[in-house]
Amino acid sequence: MELPDLQKYKDKFSQQNFFDKIQCVAKRAGAKLIYIALLLYYLMQSDKISLKDKAIIIGALGYLISPLDIMPDAVPIAGLTDDLGVMLYTLRKVWSSIDDDMKKKAHEKLSTWFDDDEINETEDIFSEDNTNGPV
């Protein structure tokens, strides 16, 4: 699967659009996709990453909240697959900059939309067997 040019989506991103979209699709998207999006959101706010990486993150988050997708979000099951692919690709690029504080903030925000069982599903993103980044 070829990823889209993420830079063209950076104009779609705003904090309000991001949280509105996340809240709207949270249950359908699942805790993993939302957790990854939140991690990227909190990382983007830090000064630990380059402007280039911030632009990539903004592009990915803009793609997530944009109504224009390769696979429309309204398509059951498959509709969010392209969004997940973009999120995972972006998270892999910036993986080494994710810290425990960002994970904690993301989990706290997740708890407003998901129950504990769903939140526990996000733990395998950081499996110790995976030294190259998220699965």
Domain extents for the chain?
Answer: 6-126
Question: Which H or E run includes 100?
Answer: helix 100-110
**Residue whose C-alpha is closest to residue 62's, from 110, 109, 102, 7:** 7
Q: Distance between CA atoms of 103 and 33, rounded to whole angstroms?
A: 14
State residue 129's pLDDT score: 47
pLDDT digits (tens, 9 = 90+) for 27-86: 667 888 889 999 999 999 999 899 999 999 998 988 887 777 666 655 555 667 788 888
Least confident of 76-85, 97-106, 113-122: 76-85
Least confident span in 53-62, 110-119, 121-130: 121-130
Q: Which of 134, 102, 100, 115 is nearest to 31 (CA)?
A: 115
Specify the long-range contacts of residues 103-106, CB closer than 8 Å, at least 24 apart. 103/39, 105/38, 105/42, 106/35, 106/38, 106/39, 106/42
